[in-house]
Amino acid sequence: MSKEFDTVRVYIEKLKALESALVLFEWDLETLAPAGSVERTSKIIGALSEEYFNCLISSELSQAVYNAKASGRCSELETKILDKLEEEIDKNRRIPSKEYREFAELTSVSAAKWQEAKLSNDYDIFAPYLEKVVEFEKKFAGYVRTDEKTLYDVLLKDYEKGFDVERLDDFFDKLKKSLIPLVKNIGDVTKKIDCDFLLKSADIEKQKKFNTFLSEYLGFDFNRGVIQESEHPFTTSLHKDDVRITTHYYENNIESAIFSTIHETGHAIFEQGIGDDITMTPLEGGSCAVHESQSRMFENMIGRSKAFWMPLYEKLQAEFPGLFADVEIDKFVTAINRTQPSLIRTESDELTYSLHIIIRYEIEKELINGNLDVKKLPEIWNQKYEEYLGVKPEKYSEGILQDIHWSQGSIGYFPFYAVGNAIAAQIYAAMDKKINVEKCLEKKNIKKIREYLRENVHRYGMSKTADEFLKDITGEEFNPDYYIEYLTGKFTGLFM
């Protein structure tokens, strides 16, 4: 390591330590902290955020980064780390320190208020906080904006570079054109599918045991990670040796925990597979769409395939005979792939999922670029659900209050679930040519899949963008046709 980079390294360590502390506080607030603690703890979070911010925008760090780059003695990876740091510095130094802190305090309170609102099905508890979050996001986007066409483009860039409104509009138009007719055609068929057995009572302790098994089967390393419970399932990470998943169990919906566990395990395997040279640097983690490509690939392309369940289905039957004893594997696979317009995104099927995303994308775009009134969101939400999916929430908790993201200040994240789906299909196709994924699944050889993904995706963390990954792995640009072909093939094969 060059002397110049070593000077930067000291700052990186400090930033990473403060960031990890913030991650741990957020994790703790979601999973354990007592309700009455939020107000005072948000002050602590505010002070830590301010400290992080002040370190990031300090002239000493900027100088150190400049010197290191100018020295010409940094490795390729070191240069990428410096670029990433510089980008963060450039972005943040336009934001007033006081506002940065206020926003950090606000989001820790608003996430708690969201949870309270959801549990008591009362949008009014959450609305004033969401209003403030939106206000801040718009203000910050205004500060940070350089050549982006709209304010929402600024937010999008934070989650994945190269996917602006223009490109996303194209992508979603294309999706709508192929998905909506497909959903209509298949919906009539799948209505008749018997899936009542999935809604029978399943002991929660047994569910926990089975999901822990599933996660380990997929390769989650429990020596370097834990699983807990929270209202909204998520994955977080302090570093590659401490990766944390949450799940939420429902007694009468065994699918919910199974597929959210597989989803989060997909994220977690990414985090645990990050290179030793990347963890604890600003390149830790993965860009949003790439991360979601891994979780969605595990959840759907792998987790809902017959090949995956073939070696596991007997165990599932043995653990939950009340549900599955009389159900053949084909009936089970058909049922977990049934498509039906529904209210809850995280529990929706693979085919309608992106329609849930389109709804959120359209609302976010309008919230940031337009003048949507936060008070009217439930109404707009419900209208869009009727329009795209033909269903209408009867409770806020099944509608506008179902997702945690906005309460945490994550506006601009949602579209990348859908982009992630498309990237997953594209990477899967390339991987399949090399290792025959179905055969791996049938033979319980998840390791081979995991190693392909670690080698080609995970170990790089955030050192590549989605576009760069796709180019390197598939030799192609981002191409949603793979996703559309995959969905069409799978669902017509299953149901038509």
* By the rule CB under 8 A, 25 interacts with its own copies: yes
Among 39, 90, 251, 387, the residue binding its own copies under the rule CB under 8 A is 39
Catalytic residues: 264
| Sign of the CA dihedral with 42 first, then 156, 339, and 493 last | negative
Among 2, 37, 121, 230, the residue binding its own copies under the rule CB under 8 A is 37
Cβ distance to its own copies smaller for residue 243 or 316: 243
* By the rule CB under 8 A, 195 interacts with its own copies: no
* By the rule CB under 8 A, 16 interacts with its own copies: yes
Task: Please answer whether residues 406 and 133 qualify as being in contact, where contact means their C-beta atoms are separated by less than 8 angstroms.
Answer: yes
**Checking DSSP bridges between strand 235-239 and strand 242-247, what pairing results, if any?**
antiparallel
Cβ distance to its own copies smaller for residue 186 or 214: 214
Among 30, 41, 298, 337, the residue binding its own copies under the rule CB under 8 A is 41
Q: What share of the chain is helix, strand, coil (3-state, %, to 5)?
A: 70, 5, 25
Distance separating alpha carbons of residues 234 and 226, to the nearest angstrom: 12
Half-sphere exposure of 267 (CA within 13 A, CB side): 25
* By the rule CB under 8 A, 51 interacts with its own copies: yes
* By the rule CB under 8 A, 85 interacts with its own copies: no
Please name the residues in contact with 280: beta carbons below 8 A apart, sequence gap of 6 or more: 12, 13, 16, 239
Report how far apart, in Å, the C-alpha atoms of 175 and of each of 172, 224, 419, 440, 487 are: 5, 38, 10, 30, 11
Q: How many residues does the chain have?
A: 496
Site for its own copies in 211-250 (CB under 8 A): 221-226, 228, 238-242
* Residue 246 CB, nearest approach to its own copies (Å): 12
Cβ distance to its own copies smaller for residue 17 or 329: 17
Among 33, 180, 189, 204, the residue binding its own copies under the rule CB under 8 A is 33
Opening angle at CA 414, ends 162 and 56, nearest 5: 65
* Residue 33 CB, nearest approach to its own copies (Å): 6
* By the rule CB under 8 A, 34 interacts with its own copies: yes
Place of tokens 């609102």: 117
Instruction: Single out the segment in contact with its own copies by CB under 8 A; choices: 1-9, 35-43, 59-67, 140-148.
Output: 35-43
* By the rule CB under 8 A, 125 interacts with its own copies: no
| Residues contacting its own copies: total by CB under 8 A | 39
Task: Please answer whether residues 335 and 198 qualify as being in contact, where contact means their C-beta atoms are separated by less than 8 angstroms.
Answer: yes
User: Which two tokens mark 130?
Assistant: 């969401």
Q: Note the residues at the interface with its own copies (CB under 8 A).
A: 13-14, 16-18, 20-21, 24-25, 28, 32-37, 39-41, 43-45, 47-48, 51, 221-226, 228, 238-242, 279-280
